[in-house]
Structures are given as structure tokens and as C-alpha cells.
Amino acid sequence: MIHTERLLIYPLSDEEMREVIDRETDEVLKTAYSEMLAGCLRNPEQRIWHALWVLKLNDGSGRIVGSLSFKGLDAHGIVEIGYGMDPAYEGKGLMTEAVSAVVRWASQQPGVSSIEAETEPSNIASQRVLEKAGFVPKGVMGAEGPRYVWRKESG
């Protein structure tokens, strides 16, 4: 579990992921979550890199305001992060807070050499999250749009 000023961030168990899949009405998300669960089951020693992580407010309400995930740890030590926020909580800096904390955590895990992300060219808010969290453009396009790579803060 990762604690930030306003959030508790943690990966769901396989059973919790099944419950999310069962409740999900968006077919694209249902498919994505199912693929994530399959990755957890196929790679139990690396399930953390396939699991769905939730962002829960640490104000006592227990409200889950967003989620994030990694897209596996590849043979070169690269992990890609993806994320989404409940629209009611957008624009409050919560996703920047979460992504910043999670990439710092991920960068300290064994076998991780690089953290990357990509976002649709029109998704300016997501690009700002990445920039504020320490990502810089990689100069290449991915399947969803421009790719970014996280640079560890010096100091």
C-alpha cells in the first residue's frame, strides 16, 4: 500500500478484480480488466505489474476515486503505467499525486529500469499529469499517442 497526503493506493486481489469485472458495464474496460486478471494469474510472481490498483481517499470516506495499472514488466525492465479518474474528482491534483507516488515506488522495485506512459494527443489533462509527475516526451508515437518516459528526480 502506498500512502500519499490524500490517498491510499493499493493493488486489488484476484477476487476483488473479479468483482470489478463482474460489475463493469463498459465492455472496453471489462475486457481490459479481464486481461489484467489473466496476467495476474499467468504471472503470480509478477502479479503486481498486472493488477488493478485503486486510489482511495484517506479522509475516512473510503471513496475510490480512480485507478491505475501497469502493463506488465517486460524483459528490458520497462513498465508502462495507465490510469483513470472518476470525473467528479478530476482537476484536483489527485491523479498527479497518485502517479508521482506510484512511479517513485515502481522505480525502486527490482528489475525496473524505466517507467513509460502514453496518452492520446488530444488528452491535454493526462499529458499535464505526466509532466507534473516527472515524465518527459520520448519523441515517439505509441498505439494511443505520444510516449513519455519518467525521469528520476535528481537531488
pLDDT in tens, 46-89: 999 999 999 999 999 989 999 999 999 999 999 999 999 999 99
**Residue 145 vs residue 94, higher pLDDT:** 94
Q: Which domains can be identified in the chain, with CATH numbers? A: 2-150 (3.40.630.30)
Q: Residue 42 — left, alpha, or beta (φ > 0 → left; ψ -120 to 50 → alpha)? A: alpha
Residue in the block written with cell 513509460: 116
Centre a 10 Å sphere on the Cβ of residue 66 and count the other Cβ atoms it contains: 22
Taking each helix axis from N to C end, the angle separating 27-42 and 14-23, rounded to the nearest 10 degrees, works out to 160
Centre a 10 Å sphere on the Cβ of residue 74 and count the other Cβ atoms it contains: 14
Angstrom distance (rounded) from CA 48 to CA 25: 25
Q: In what order do the strands lie in the sheet with 114-118?
A: 2-3, 7-11, 52-57, 64-73, 78-85, 114-118, 146-150, 135-141
What is the model's pTM?
A: 0.91
Report, in this order, helix, strand and coil percent for the chain, each rounded to 5: 35, 30, 30
Angstrom distance (rounded) from CA 126 to CA 132: 10
Label residue 147 by pLDDT band (50, 70, 90): very high
Label residue 142 by pLDDT band (50, 70, 90): confident
